[in-house]
């Protein structure tokens, strides 16, 4: 608390009151709407204009899947004797954003059912895409990250946080406006530490690539299932821990790692 302005702010009643779960969640929903809906509208236009060469499924879209009676003519799949063919579409208010076909085979051995699948991009009419398809979904994730890190780093508030009357502050360095870009980025990366729990099972799946025979063996491998179950359990525990901290109006683990807090911006 090195400057007079920050000292005066700290003396305001309720200034250091932590924001709760619902206020944070509502702010995040607003931010996702502000960033993802305009991007999804762009994908709607590009999906139609490029005949399916550019696709993306993120944000506020509706996904519907329709079973097909047989494998589309001319389709070459690596799955021997497939048992299921499903046409899946993503749309925003009825306008298509993405379409793909999932070919799969499932097997039941005793009480255990396993399966493998392969996905194929389709054009808006449901035909196999004849040219390479570019999945733009990752761009939306990147833009959302840049938006949140930039706004919190420079101003301490995204549009959602401003609307809900809360602010992200650094707990050191004088509590000036904005947390700083590096601290804001560290905060977001700390939020995603749960990804580490899934790395073992992802690594095993990546190792076999698109070898369908190896995939079938992997799905009955006890080590793979143990890694998957452990990863899922740790991921659920991570989010429960964060949610409980917010409900109790305490700093979640990622805020403690980054040295930040989300506070009410006004008394």
Quote the tokens at residue 129. Answer: 């895409």
User: What mean pLDDT is predicted for residues 117-134?
Assistant: 87
Pairing of strands 260-264, 112-121: unpaired
Contact 252, 163 (CB under 8 A): no
User: What mean pLDDT is predicted for residues 36-55?
Assistant: 94
Looking at residue 5, its pLDDT comes to 42
b/e code 64-83 from CB counts within 10 Å (16+ = b): eeeeeeeeeeeeebebeebe
Looking at residue 129, its pLDDT comes to 83
What radius of gyration do the chain's Cα atoms show? 23
Global confidence as pTM: 0.79
Q: Which residue has the higher pLDDT, 73 or 242?
A: 242
pLDDT band of 266, cuts 50, 70, 90: low
DSSP symbols for 42-75: HHHHHHHHTTTSEE---SS-EEEEEE-SSPPTT-
Looking at residue 12, its pLDDT comes to 47
Q: Which residue has the higher pLDDT, 2 or 246?
A: 246
Looking at residue 33, its pLDDT comes to 95
Share of the chain above pLDDT 70, in %: 79
- Alpha carbon distances (Å) from 220 to 46, 112, 130, 227: 41, 9, 35, 12
Looking at residue 127, its pLDDT comes to 87
pLDDT in tens, 87-107: 999 999 999 999 999 988 776
pLDDT in tens, 130-169: 788 999 999 999 999 999 999 999 999 999 999 999 999 9
pLDDT in tens, 199-252: 666 665 566 555 555 655 656 667 767 877 888 888 899 999 999 999 998 999
């Amino acid at each position: 608390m090195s400057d007079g302005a920050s000292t005066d702010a700290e003396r305001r009643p309720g200034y250091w009151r932590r924001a709760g779960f619902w206020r944070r969640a509502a702010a995040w929903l607003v931010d996702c709407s502000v960033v993802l809906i305009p991007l999804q509208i762009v994908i709607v236009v590009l999906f139609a204009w490029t005949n399916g060469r550019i696709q993306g499924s993120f944000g506020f879209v509706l996904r519907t899947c329709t079973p097909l009676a047989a494998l589309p003519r001319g389709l070459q799949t690596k799955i021997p004797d497939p048992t299921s063919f499903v046409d899946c579409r993503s749309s925003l208010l009825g306008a298509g954003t993405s379409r793909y076909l999932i070919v799969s085979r499932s097997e039941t051995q005793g009480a255990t059912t396993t399966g493998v699948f392969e996905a194929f991009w389709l054009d808006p009419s449901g035909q196999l895409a004849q040219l390479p398809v570019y999945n733009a979904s990752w761009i939306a994730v990147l833009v959302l990250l840049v938006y949140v890190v930039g706004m919190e780093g420079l101003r301490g508030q995204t549009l959602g946080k401003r609307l809900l009357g809360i602010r992200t502050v650094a707990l050191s360095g004088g509590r000036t406006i904005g947390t700083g870009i590096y601290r804001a980025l560290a905060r977001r990366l700390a939020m995603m530490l749960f990804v580490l729990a899934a790395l073992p099972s992802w690594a095993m799946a990546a190792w076999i690539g698109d070898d369908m025979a190896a995939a079938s063996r992997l799905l009955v491998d006890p080590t793979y299932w143990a890694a998957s179950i452990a990863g899922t359990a740790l991921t659920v525990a991570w989010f429960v821990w964060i949610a409980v901290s917010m409900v109790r109006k305490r700093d979640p683990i990622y805020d403690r790692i980054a040295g930040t807090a989300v506070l009410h911006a006004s008394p």
